[in-house]
Amino acid sequence: MHATPPNAQISRRGFLKASAGALVGFPSILRAQNLNSNVQIVGVGCDGKGYSDLSEVGSHARSKFVGFCDVDATRFAKIDQKFPGVPHHEDFRAMFSKLGSGFDAVVVSTPDHMHAAIAMAAMRMGKHVYCQKPLTHTVWEARQLRLQAAKSRVRTQMGNQIHSAGEYRTGVKLLRDGAIGKITAVHSWQRNSGNGYTKLIAPPVPGSVPESLNWDLWLGVAPKREYAPDVYHPFKWRDWQEFGGGTMGDFGCHILDPVFTALGLGAPKTVRAESEGLNAHTWPSAETVHYVFPGTKYTAKETLPVTWYDGGRLPDVALAKLPAGVELAKAGSLFIGEEGVLIQPHVAMPQLYPVEKFGARPIVREAAANHYHAWVDAALNGTETSDNFEYAGPLTEAVLLGNVATRTPGVLLEWDSAEMRLPGHPEAERFLRRNYRDGWAIPAAGA
Ligand SMILES: NC(=O)c1ccc[n+]([C@@H]2O[C@H](COP(=O)([O-])OP(=O)(O)OC[C@H]3O[C@@H](n4cnc5c(N)ncnc54)[C@H](O)[C@@H]3O)[C@@H](O)[C@H]2O)c1
């Protein structure tokens, strides 16, 4: 697929760059101009994961930062040491409009509730987007980002970087090569708890907002609420339904990624969940989510059950056929095949069981790819990334459907993906999208 100018707002320079793939056959002077340029990148969210995202993206020889945006002025210090002199901004909207055609791409590393607002605004301007996982905070947003990326023909990558790690690529290859035959079931788990960072069940006692923080901008699309110290910003926001996705939101796009990639999964047919510790504010302390996916050429049957466990819940360890004394990893996936079992720990090399059958067979490690540089290369050259929104959108939708099911415990939800409906379950359907605060509406793709 070639990048072409997505809309009238794209600059001439951006056009040359975006058209890189399409330049074959064009006068070589145009191609040379493109090949000599850098990708001008802005970062939104500069500390936490943002620091590592920007460090990695910035290590590409042809990436050039032209703006850093963070709502907390104290959060620039680390990235400034690494890339001195990049102008600071507080509000991504003001940065986008100020820089206009002076930037080509954005790295989005904010809390989840703001991913869609930032990525959608950028793609509507024709900018390439690297966006942290989960791609969005709601199912509707994931669908819109996928559609908008295709419409804008920009290069995208979700930030579940382990997708490109040798460990995951090895597991994917083994499964696709049929190491354990066709797959009959998958069990995935992460021992963390969905309200493990705050251990709160109701909005906490408010406190004064630090001078450095623009709390209103931090809230962004979310309803107004008072700031409280040490429970939202930084990092702990992931416990709260308004901002994050609990353990499923935090780890689903990592741990279910090799399941999706290896088995070619798309939209689930059904999803149902049971949980404990759920309240109206924070995510449950433990949950089990039962998916049924349509079968693929890698599955034994016409449907595939995939079960997610967190908060200390685990699959039946007997299924793993582990040798005595070996325990299940802290997190990972257990693939049950017709001819054996593969465990893909998060993150370590896959193992094949039972050892009597597979013990002597060496596992060849697949080379890692550079997840970040692949995106910069794609922006430069019009190549495609493996974790683009076309792939990451449906993965995120499935993960977030798990959270919809968690909010309607015990109910079997049938997913009408084409219509984005959960027929007969309005109480669940309302969680597919959210209301945006006045002034923060996110447009549908193409709107
Ligand atoms: N891929 C991974 O391995 C991995 C690991 C950790 C976090 N993450 C993801 O990265 C994202 C950030 O998580 P974190 O743990 O770093 O959170 P964090 O709260 O520690 O950091 C977020 C940063 O964004 C800033 N910020 C918040 N709202 C903003 C806004 N509207 N505009 C600009 N800046 C804003 C904050 O001030 C902070 O510097 C999340 O989506 C999370 O799921 C991914």
> Which pLDDT belongs to residue 187?
98
229, 176 Cβ separation under 8 angstroms: no
User: Is residue 234 lining ligand 1, measured as CB closer than 6 Å?
Assistant: yes
Ligand 1 probe mutation, 56, 110, 145, 235, most atoms within 8 A of CB: 110
d(CA 109, CA 142): 16
Q: How many CA atoms does the CB half-sphere of 147 hold within 13 Å?
A: 13
User: Is residue 110 lining ligand 1, measured as CB closer than 6 Å?
Assistant: yes
Q: b/e for 234-250, b at 16 or more Cβ within 10 A? A: eebbbbbbbbbbbbbbb
327 CA to middle of ligand 1, Å?
32
156, 130 Cβ separation under 8 angstroms: yes
Look at the chain and count its residues. Answer: 447
Q: Which segments of the chain have a pLDDT < 70?
A: 1-36
Supply the residue whose CA is at minimum distance from atom 22 of ligand 1.
Answer: 110
Supply the residue whose CA is at minimum distance from atom 2 of ligand 1.
Answer: 160
Q: Which of 253, 3, 254, 44 is nearest to 128 (CA)?
A: 3
231, 204 Cβ separation under 8 angstroms: yes
User: Is residue 114 lining ligand 1, measured as CB closer than 6 Å?
Assistant: yes
Residue 233 CA: nearest ligand 1 atom is 19
187 CA to middle of ligand 1, Å?
28
> Which pLDDT belongs to residue 202?
85
Helix 246-255 × helix 389-406 angle, to 10°: 150
57 CA to middle of ligand 1, Å?
16
Q: Where are the alpha helices (DSSP H) in 347-443?
A: 355-358, 371-381, 389-406, 426-429
Tokens of 31: 């191609």
Ligand 1 probe mutation, 42, 106, 109, most atoms within 8 A of CB: 109
> Which pLDDT belongs to residue 36?
62
Strands (E), 236-373: 270-276, 286-294, 303-310, 331-337, 340-345, 351-353
> Which pLDDT belongs to residue 272?
98
Sheet with 340-345, strands from edge to edge, namely 351-353, 340-345, 331-337, 183-190, 303-310, 286-294, 270-276, 413-414
Q: CB-based contacts of 39: which residues, under 8 Å, 6+ apart?
A: 17, 60, 62, 63, 64, 104, 105, 128, 376, 379, 380
61 CA to middle of ligand 1, Å?
25
> Which pLDDT belongs to residue 34?
52
Q: What is the pTM of this model?
A: 0.93
User: Is residue 235 lining ligand 1, measured as CB closer than 6 Å?
Assistant: yes
d(CA 346, CA 149): 29
User: Is residue 191 lining ligand 1, measured as CB closer than 6 Å?
Assistant: no
Coil, strand or helix: which one is 185? strand
Measuring CA to CA, how many Å separate 190 from each of 9, 49, 136, 319, 334? 44, 20, 20, 17, 12
d(CA 357, CA 430): 49
